[in-house]
Structure 1
Amino acid sequence: MSQLRVPVSARDHIRGGNDADVTLVEYGDYQCPYCAMANPIVGLMERQYGRALRVVFRHFPMEEVHPLALTAAEAAEYAGDNGVFWEMHDAIYANQPRLGVPLLFAIAGTLKLSQIGLRDSLASFLHAERVRSDFLGGVRSGVNGTPTFFINGVRHDGGFSASELSAALEQQLTVTR
């Protein structure tokens, strides 16, 4: 049973409060079709569990099979610098079949982000170290594919269907209450 080696901190992208009973950490890749399938399920879990659940997203771009994943992660980080990480995150997954640089710029425009700023950020690899840090933390935690979830610091080795994730979250809620 793998443990999360890098604790959740203020540097992470977090939805939900620090007082939540359960923390769900996802290591994901924006070009991974399974991550795109999991994203609305994670959203469903957020709605279902409300304040009891805190969700954290960390980057794990598997560049050898997903050549656009790193660029998408860096674009999401650029959006995060401007306070709209989760909006970019959700929009990338919602439009994943069209993933490419033109889509990232279109989403940036929709989010009222500077396209010149995004261009400069991508050209200079401004956020590459942040994405690499997430990736290495995932490797240290035993991540070898995406999506990989950790629930309260323990790797969830089950599936990511709504019923499977809900059952795992319920189990943790029983332990924490």
Structure 2
Amino acid sequence: MGTLFNWFSPLIRYMRTWIAISLLFLIVTWSFPAQAASPLDPQLEQQVLQIIREHPEAIIESVQAYQQLQQQKVKQAQQAFLQDLKTNPQTVIGESPTIGSTQSKTVLIEFSDFQCPYCAEAHKTLKQLLAKYPNKLRLVYKNFPLVSIHAEAMPAATAAWAAYQQGKFWEYHDALFTNQKQLGQTLYLDIAKKLKLDLGKFKRDLTLATPAIIKDIQLAEKLAVSGTPFFVINSPTFLGVVQLADIESILTGDKF
């Protein structure tokens, strides 16, 4: 089995600060229950700080123990995901859009963001691979919109899901990446018109897309996916996280 996921996502890297804050509140609650309702009281603040000065190792040990527990949970989730992908790929695919050969033994899971420039570049390579190896690859698209840095990632994912309900996901997907610099409501409607979608249904489905997209996001977070594009592959020769540059080598059996 190849290299697995990057366990140390930004969430875990920043966990030390947040857990320390939480522990401060616990100290306040346990030690000063009568005063806990006034967390900004100067005397109480000094008492809490004194406890930390006298027992800093307790904070550090608690943070480290929590981080280890979280890493263990992530590892277990990753192993379960890979096992499902190996033994029952349809469980992983679910209702996500797929393209390529349904009979292929190689399934590529892509976590992607329609506003991510690296995803747009990956899209070009994936189209070439699908055209070159039509019977060797099945691509599965999972949404992972990076909403904190890409304002149009979620709206674009929503529009693509609405198009998917009319059997036009991949055409819509291609148009979004091709016109990535024009992402916005005008583009979403223009693409729908060009694909001759039922506009009434398209607009209604825009309001129904969120649960499916959130489900993908939750899966990505559970697996500690920290960026896009992110690929996991199951082939006769390799199972695990894969770089885009290595996918063709796996398909041809020249690597791994």
User: Quick one: distance in 2 between partners of 1:52 and 1:121?
Assistant: 33
Distance of 2:120 and 2:249 partners within structure 1 = 21
Q: Tell me the matched-pair count.
A: 168
Per the alignment, residue 227 of structure 2 pairs with 145
Q: Secondary structure at the match of 2:177?
A: helix
The structure where strand makes up a greater share of residues is 1
User: Which one of the candidate residues 167, 174, 184 is aligned to 1:83?
Assistant: 167
User: 1:30 maps to what in 2?
Assistant: 114
1:113-169 CA-to-partner distances (Å, cap 9, x unmatched) read 1334333333x3x1101001011111222311000011115111x3x34xx331243
1:67 maps onto 2:151 in alignment = yes
1:154 corresponds to: 240
Q: Which of residues 183, 196, 199 is equivalent to 1:115? A: 199
Q: Output the aligned Cα RMSD.
A: 2.0
Counterpart among 212, 215, 235 of residue 133 in structure 1: 215
User: Retained in 2: the 8 A contact 1:151–1:169?
Assistant: no
> Structure 1: how far apart are the matches of 2:101 and 2:134?
10
Give the structure 2 partner of residue 106 of structure 1: 190
Alignment check: 8 A CA contact 1:13 1:85 kept: yes
Residue equivalent to 2:133: 49
Q: Are the aligned partners of 1:29 and 1:147 in contact in 2 as well (CA < 8 Å)?
A: yes
Provide TM-score, normalisation by structure 1. 0.86
In terms of fraction of residues, the more helix-rich structure is 2
TM-score, normalisation: structure 2: 0.61
- Structure 2 counterpart of 1:115, which letter? L
Post-superposition offset of 1:96:
0.5
Q: Structure 2 counterpart of 1:140, which letter? A: K
| Paired residues of 1:27 and 1:58 also in contact (CA < 8 A) | yes
Larger radius of gyration: 2
Q: Report the Cα distance in structure 2 between the residues aligned to 1:141 and 1:46, rounded to whole angstroms.
A: 26
Letter in 2 for 1:133: K
Structure 1: unaligned runs, 5 residues or longer: none
Identify the structure with bigger relative contact order (alpha carbons < 8 Å, sequence gap 6+).
Answer: 1
Structure 2 letter corresponding to 1:155: V
Partner SS, residue 88 of structure 1: helix
